[in-house]
Amino acid sequence: WGLIRSLASKQLYCSDGDLFFYRFGCLEDVKSRLISPNVLLVIGFSYCHKPFECPAGRFTDACVRDLDSPVCGQCFIGKCVHALPDARVEPLFITTVHYIGEKMIEAHDRWPDREILFLITACELTLEMFGKLGHAVGFQGVGVRLGGQICNTMPAFKASERGLKPGMAVVNDDAQADMMALIRAFAESVVSDSRTVSLASTPPSRRDDIIASDRRG
């Protein structure tokens, strides 16, 4: 019944530029929720904006994010992944709309006590389809609409779902800035939480010796 109600719904999300909000009203709403210590972030990147020379391959769910690779050094996906914390996050590299749907359901099953939020990049057709699934099962988060050479017809979309994507999509500049703002806010909250836990578990006699420093430099 949830799926039927979802398909019949006229408003599955609200949008602001390239940002599509699912069960949120605006960017600040998402940011304020992301800093909750119970949140786990599922962040996904469409293969459509991987570079053609991607060392992991384009139509794959892999990313090597090699700091010494000139290709990785110019890739926005790598920039995002390197900015992520080491905890409370599940990075994904999306090949199909079914893939991201399955991974979101898996995340809910694996971490039933966590609040799962998503941040994904995708073309508008994918965001529409994923939105219907998400609305039916209660997913919440942000979709970032890709620009550039995107799939704007159903035949092109179906071909891309098989890995046939001759063009390259991009995350537009404003959307890149918004994504990085969310990632940084989330990362800072995770680091802050880990320091709090560390201090709480350290014997009082040793706490004065601890110097709080950013592990990422």
Tokens describing residue 165: 């994507």
What band does 172 get if pLDDT is binned at 50, 70 and 90? very high
The whole-model pTM stands at 0.83
Residue 214 has pLDDT above 60, yes or no: no
Q: Which residues pair with 133 in a beta bridge?
A: none
Q: How far apart are CA 18 and CA 157, in angstroms?
A: 19
Q: How far apart are CA 145 and CA 135, in angstroms?
A: 18
User: 146 with 46: CB under 8 angstroms?
Assistant: yes
* Mean per-residue pLDDT over the chain, rounded: 85
Averaged pLDDT, 163-180: 95
* pLDDT for position 52: 94
Q: How far apart are CA 154 and CA 158, in angstroms?
A: 6
| 28-77: pLDDT as tens digits | 999 999 999 999 999 999 999 999 999 999 999 999 999 899 999 999 99
